[in-house]
Amino acid sequence: MSNGIYGIEIAWLDAVIRLHIIVGLMTVVVMGLIYVERKILARFQQRLGPTRTGPAGLLQSVADGLKLVGKEDLRPRNADPWTFELAPYMVFIPVFLGFVIVPFAFGMQVRILELGLIYFVATSSLGIIGWVMAGWGSDNRYAMIGGMRAAAQGISYELPLVLSLISVAMVSESYNLNDIVLSQSTYPNLLWQPLVLVIFIIAGLAELNRTPFDIPVGESEVVGGPFVEYSGIRWSFFFLAEYAALFIMGLIFAAVFMGGWAWPLGEELGRGWQILLVTIKTSLFIFLVFWIRASVPRLRIDQLMSFSWKILLPLAFLQVLINGAVLVYEAPLWILTITGMLGIVVLVRLIERAVRPQPVTNESTVSIGNESVS
């Protein structure tokens, strides 16, 4: 066979090599991200961050990694061995599968899939199973609560995320990430879909279990949630997955909303420029995530759910409907900009209405107002 080596098709070999490169690259990127997050968070909090390992603490992630690898891999006696030990992989593998479709630059991806966006959503939601397995298998009550929270949260935020991506795909008229990027070479999608952008960022934060949606791992409540019992290399898998997911979400954000490597300088750029553009756009998203993490408190599980089902989801549906109408009747696209902006206003109003104090329901604790004792 002309297109094969040792009976393996070139296409497969090519994909395997690309995937390997990505896995290698990812580990480095994740280490960098961990360092950058610590430094940036420190700066937001007027701290110094890591300073002691290497110049300006640059080797902190390496030191952390070495420590984690060297640590004993503990398993609680009553833990369910299979569930407990498989859970990290179940979290880790889906995240890495996502990298198959991510366009780093023109022609730089593992595969161009026709249903790329759907594929991304499908793989990323698989990770939830790993979380639940970790929570269930650790035989720890914090972990179990965390796992259940993760499941609830993952399922509810999957929908707004999917809908937001779908509505972008409608405007770009493709699910193929490469085509989506190419279609934005003059105007990025965020111009037509501002509301969807906001929904995507919110749902993305929830998907990544980042503040204000870090409920499953809530440090001050369930002390790390499903990861409570993990140590050493298994724990580092969770960590790796978390940051890899952050990175991939940033890349998707760059590709879907910011025009990836194509906007604003057109698609005929050199590869170096393209990569730089994508890096900048991705960093923007990641910086935003860090910034939000340093600034806002955590929501409660019921508030999280009602926010998703009562506010985000209807708005996302509405946007899809409007998109459909505008595209079918071939109305000018700026209508979408206006409706999107209006949508953001509605979102803000709804959030503000939601936090307005509700009447007290529990009658045994009704306040009796001012009473002066002295």
**Contact code string over 15-44 relative to other proteins, x by CB under 8 A:** --------------------------xxxx
Q: Which of residues 65-104 bind other proteins (CB under 8 A)?
A: none
Nearer to other proteins, 145 or 277 (CB): 145
Answer for which of 220, 328, 329, 332 binds other proteins (CB under 8 A) is 220
Nearer to other proteins, 233 or 301 (CB): 301
Residue 95's nearest CA partner among 183, 203, 207 is 207
Sign of CA dihedral 19, 21, 24, 29: negative
Options 17-25, 93-101, 140-148, 237-245: segment touching other proteins (CB under 8 A): 140-148
Look-up: residue for tokens 């699910």? 175
Contact call for residue 3 and other proteins (CB under 8 A): no
**Contact code string over 267-296 relative to other proteins, x by CB under 8 A:** ------------------------xxxxxx
Contact call for residue 371 and other proteins (CB under 8 A): yes
Sign of CA dihedral 84, 86, 91, 92: positive
From CA 370, how far away is CA 374, in angstroms rounded? 13
Coil, helix or strand at residue 186:
coil
Contact call for residue 330 and other proteins (CB under 8 A): no
Token pair in block for residue 95: 């995240």
Q: Which helix (H) or strand (E) holds 176?
A: none
Nearer to other proteins, 45 or 186 (CB): 45
Answer for which of 108, 125, 275, 298 binds other proteins (CB under 8 A) is 298
Contact call for residue 221 and other proteins (CB under 8 A): yes
From CA 334, how far away is CA 2, in angstroms rounded? 51
Residue 96's nearest CA partner among 207, 226, 230, 240 is 240
Nearer to other proteins, 1 or 355 (CB): 355
Look-up: residue for tokens 């759910």? 305
Token pair in block for residue 15: 């994909």
From CA 36, how far away is CA 42, in angstroms rounded? 10
Answer for which of 141, 264, 280, 310 binds other proteins (CB under 8 A) is 141
Q: Which of residues 187-216 bind other proteins (CB under 8 A)?
A: 211-212, 214-215
Query: Quick check: 315 and 195 in contact, CB under 8 A?
Result: yes
From CA 162, how far away is CA 118, in angstroms rounded? 8
Answer for which of 98, 194, 218, 250 binds other proteins (CB under 8 A) is 218
**Which stretches of the chain bind other proteins, using CB under 8 A?**
41-48, 51-52, 141-142, 144-145, 211-212, 214-215, 218-223, 291-303, 347-348, 351-352, 354-355, 357-358, 360, 362, 365-374
